[in-house]
Amino acid sequence: MDSIAKWIAEITPGGVGIWTAVGLIVVALIRQKPITQKLTDEREGNLLKERAADMKGMRRRITELEAEQRVDRHNIGNLEQVLDMILNMIEIDPGRAVAIAAKAREVRAAQKLELATEKAGLHSGKITAAEDAE
């Protein structure tokens, strides 16, 4: 810094050169402000766009998880229904346990088919959403 001050003093007589240099630096900083502000605004704008894209992805994932949760709740309800049916039928006629088990297997096979159809619908919805996002 001293070397710069000496150089300025050599170029201009007295302290005028130093004040001129300080003035030029201040002017340069003032002119730099709009450029710096523009860069800052662009960076913030890009960050906001990235956050918006992230939020959109999160919302989509939340919707997918909620749909999967509904299917799981439905499946749990089906399992409870079959279990209750088995227990009630065995209490009524314990001698028919084999026939009751066969009936329960039929009901569960139908429920599994329905569950597979629901899951396929969810996955096709995901694929469609992914294609729409592109």
With cut-offs at 50, 70 and 90, classify the pLDDT of residue 122: confident
Q: What is the reported pLDDT for 80?
A: 92
- Which string of DSSP letters, residue by residue, matches 10-56? HHSSTTHHHHHHHHHHHHHHHHHHHHHHHHHHHHHHHHHHHHHHHHH
pTM value is 0.54
Kindly state the helix (H) or strand (E) to which residue 64 belongs, with its residue range. Answer: helix 16-92
Q: What is the reported pLDDT for 18?
A: 66
Q: What are the domain boundaries of the chain?
A: 2-133
Q: Rounded distance, CA 26 to CA 121, Å?
A: 66
Q: What is the reported pLDDT for 134?
A: 59
With cut-offs at 50, 70 and 90, classify the pLDDT of residue 76: very high
Coil/strand/helix, residue 102:
helix
Q: What is the reported pLDDT for 1?
A: 63
Average pLDDT over residues 18-41: 81
Q: What is the reported pLDDT for 133?
A: 61
Lowest mean pLDDT among 3-12, 28-37, 73-82: 3-12
Q: Rounded distance, CA 8 to CA 24, Å?
A: 12
Sequence length of the chain is: 134
